[in-house]
Chain A
Amino acid sequence: MKILLVDDEQEFVTALAERLTLRDMDASVATDGEMALALIDTDPPDVVVLDIMMPGMNGLDVLERIKSIHPGIPVILLTARGATKDGIQGAKLGAFDYLIKPIDIDELIQKLNEAI
């Protein structure tokens, strides 16, 4: 399973990628929206895990772009706010689900499996 993790918190996203790799998943990392979109264009993943709160282009904008170019790729949103407004907005834009940070790795894996 090819997963793209998008988050501006590099410490968080690299550790998470490493953990998923340990579980035999192909996890790549992007630390901002442009980078993520570029990666998706060159090598489309099976699923994208996307943080909503990012400087520059935020998660919801990135989600919109992904959905317009690759509507088939499921996106799981991450948020530290737990604000459901974001969740609802995400769902409207076609997100598969959303998780609140800090996340439980098992829960994430479960959602990833559901998404594919």
Chain B
Amino acid sequence: MTFNFKKLLNIKEIFQMLTEVKSSEERYQKLRRNMRILMIGLTIFPLSMMAVINYHQYQRSLREEIITPEKVLANKTRHSFEFFLKERLSLIKSISYFYSYEQLSDKETLNHILYTLKKEFSGFVDLGLINGTDGHQLCYVGPYTLEGKNYAEQSWFQELMLRGTYFSDVFMGYRKFPHIAIAVQRLEKTGHSWIVRTTIDTKMFDNLIAAMGLDADGDAFVINKEGIFQTDSRLYGKVLERCPLKISNAGYATYVDERKDPNGKDIVITYTHLTYPEYTLVIVKSRSTVLKTWYALKSDLFLVFLISSILIIIVVFRLTRTMVYRIKVADQNRESAFRELQHQHKLSSIGRLAAGVAHEINNPMAIINEKAGLIKDIIEYTPDFAQKDKFLPLVMSIVNSVDRCRTITHRLLGFAKRMEVEIEHLDVNELLKEVLGFLEKEIFFRNIDVSLELAENLSAIDSDRGQLQQVFLNILNNAMAAIEDKGRIIITTWEKNINGVAVSIQDNGCGMSEETCHKIFEPFFTTKKEYGTGLGLPITYGIVKKLGGDIEVKSKEHEGTTFNIFLPKNQFLKNGAS
């Protein structure tokens, strides 16, 4: 990935790649791939960065927003608890101050106080007076008979002695309801000490929790510092059972913690410690409920990111495909135009050269021709010419050589010819038959099998008869040179498309190598050694192009060669096509 990035960031290299002209398929694939990587990288990378930043930003702000109310609720409820307990404690303290030891030792008075407490404040169950020195229960009103019981050895008594007040943990008291005990020590100036102790049921705790108005899947409870439930938990157990959640005892703030509960459910725990007694108020909510808004936003964010990414990828793929295709087409056009131009240029310069050479050679050649012709005439016209048999073949050899030269120079001149094209309406099938007529004798003598597969109702085209004759003649001559006697030539015509017709001339001759195939339209390329000028097929090519058509060759060594010629129906199409 880092390597790729390094490569991607090398803009110079990329533009070099983009502007290079080398039309191998691999290059276009590479170009397409690089463009895709670059474009996707350039778009997806900032998009991802934005998404990640947004994600964290939103997470932070939304978390705060979501968690604050939870903390507020926990604090409020804690205050309610503390208020409730402090109120009870203050009451007991007040009683210990308002009444004297003697008054409280009187069962009647104690009963009256309990009655008033029950009436005015809920939850009071019993009330007792204990000797502060020996822990002896002196007086008791309530549902039990505890008078005379000694508490001196109990741990709460020790704690009370130390702190002056005491809150018990919840225990199962009267009628199996959870209760707590509150005790207050009164130390008189005389040194006399006594204790007022009461039990209150904790129904009020449940009311305080109910007042929080939690959802159906929410839970709130109070535990002591040993982790024992002081109230019922809807989800995790009854009062006095051990709480399965580990809650830290430390700290005085309100804490929010996300974790999995023992059932594997994702929960958000909000907890806060009461200052006195050492209880912890715990609120449990399912994570999905608390973070509902965040989850919704998160999935929206993800969806937007996903859709954008998919769209980007689709667009990039389509765009690069089109772009690379266009580049490819442009490259091909440029290349073929360049090749065409080069070819034309070559042809025309060779044409000029050929014409010049032919002209310079033709004049002396004409003299040789006439002189030799005259010698021949003299030998022939003189009766009983001495050594006629010796001279005549010699002279004939000169005449024939001149003839050969003439053929060559005439071809050169033909090549150079820039004749005006004479357009007429013609039937290609007819024209082919005409051309075959010129070759009739050779076909007959060499026993060549020429089969015509001409399309019926082939559209007539507008073209130059003479030039097309030369085209077909050239190709047929080549075909006949390529095949052995008794060889085969198949001529086929068909309607290529709405704009033109096609002619194919196929032989089963010696064929050509791929290399030869590439060169056959080049001027002066010949395989016929002595007899070829290397101009036949270039002329053919030039004519076909001039007439707005196209020619292609397919060949396989020892199997044969096929020439396909395409000709436009109308000459005005030529300009549009080239």
Interface residues of A in 5-28 (CB under 8 A from B): 9, 11-12, 15-16, 18-19, 22-23
Question: Can you name the residue of chain A whose Cβ is closest to the Cβ of B412?
Answer: A82
B370 touches A19 (CB 8 A): yes
Least Cβ–Cβ distance between B333 and chain A, in angstroms:
34
**Bound Cα distance from A8 to B417, whole angstroms:** 25
B180 in the interface (beta carbon within 8 A): no
State the main secondary structure of chain B at its contact with A. Answer: helix
**Bound Cα distance from A115 to B414, whole angstroms:** 25
Question: Can you name the residue of chain A whose Cβ is closest to the Cβ of B413?
Answer: A82
B144 in the interface (beta carbon within 8 A): no
Additional A-B contact list (10), CB under 8 Å, known A15-B367, A19-B373: A9-B363, A12-B367, A53-B359, A81-B355, A82-B362, A88-B420, A101-B366, A102-B370, A103-B369, A104-B403
Question: Can you name the residue of chain A whose Cβ is closest to the Cβ of B375?
Answer: A15
**Bound Cα distance from A15 to B377, whole angstroms:** 11
A9 touches B367 (CB 8 A): yes
Least Cβ–Cβ distance between A21 and chain B, in angstroms:
10
Interface residues of B in 386-412 (CB under 8 A from A): 402-403, 405-406, 409-410
Partner of A84, one of B366, B368, B410, B419: B419
**Bound Cα distance from A81 to B363, whole angstroms:** 9
Complex interface: chain A residues within 8 A of B371 (CB)? 11, 15
Interface residues of A in 51-84 (CB under 8 A from B): 53, 80-84
A38 in the interface (beta carbon within 8 A): no
**Bound Cα distance from A95 to B369, whole angstroms:** 24
**Bound Cα distance from A103 to B374, whole angstroms:** 13
Complex interface: chain B residues within 8 A of A104 (CB)? 403
Given A9-B363, A102-B365, A102-B406, also A82-B370 (CB < 8 A): no
B381 in the interface (beta carbon within 8 A): yes
A105 touches B414 (CB 8 A): no
Partner of B365, one of A23, A81, A101: A101
A102 touches B374 (CB 8 A): no
Complex interface: chain B residues within 8 A of A18 (CB)? 374, 377
Interface size on A, residues (CB 8 A): 22
A102 touches B381 (CB 8 A): no
Complex interface: chain A residues within 8 A of B368 (CB)? 102
A1 in the interface (beta carbon within 8 A): no
B355 touches A82 (CB 8 A): yes
Least Cβ–Cβ distance between B365 and chain A, in angstroms:
5
Complex interface: chain A residues within 8 A of B402 (CB)? 102
Question: Can you name the residue of chain B whose Cβ is closest to the Cβ of A13?
Answer: B370
Given A81-B413, A84-B419, A100-B413, also A105-B362 (CB < 8 A): no
**Bound Cα distance from A94 to B427, whole angstroms:** 32
Complex interface: chain B residues within 8 A of A101 (CB)? 362-363, 365-366
**Bound Cα distance from A2 to B369, whole angstroms:** 23
Given A83-B355, A100-B410, also A19-B374 (CB < 8 A): yes
**Bound Cα distance from A100 to B405, whole angstroms:** 13
Contact indicator per residue, chain B 408-445, by CB within 8 Å of chain A (1) or not (0): 01100110110110000000000000000000000000
Contact indicator per residue, chain B 244-276, by CB within 8 Å of chain A (1) or not (0): 000000000000000000000000000000000
**Bound Cα distance from A20 to B564, whole angstroms:** 48
A100 touches B370 (CB 8 A): no
Least Cβ–Cβ distance between B173 and chain A, in angstroms:
134
**Bound Cα distance from A15 to B378, whole angstroms:** 11
**Bound Cα distance from A102 to B403, whole angstroms:** 8
Question: Can you name the residue of chain B whose Cβ is closest to the Cβ of A14?
Answer: B370
Least Cβ–Cβ distance between A1 and chain B, in angstroms:
17
Least Cβ–Cβ distance between B169 and chain A, in angstroms:
127
B284 in the interface (beta carbon within 8 A): no
**Bound Cα distance from A83 to B356, whole angstroms:** 10
Question: Can you name the residue of chain B whose Cβ is closest to the Cβ of A8?
Answer: B363
B358 in the interface (beta carbon within 8 A): yes
A12 touches B363 (CB 8 A): yes
Given A82-B358, A83-B355, also A19-B367 (CB < 8 A): no
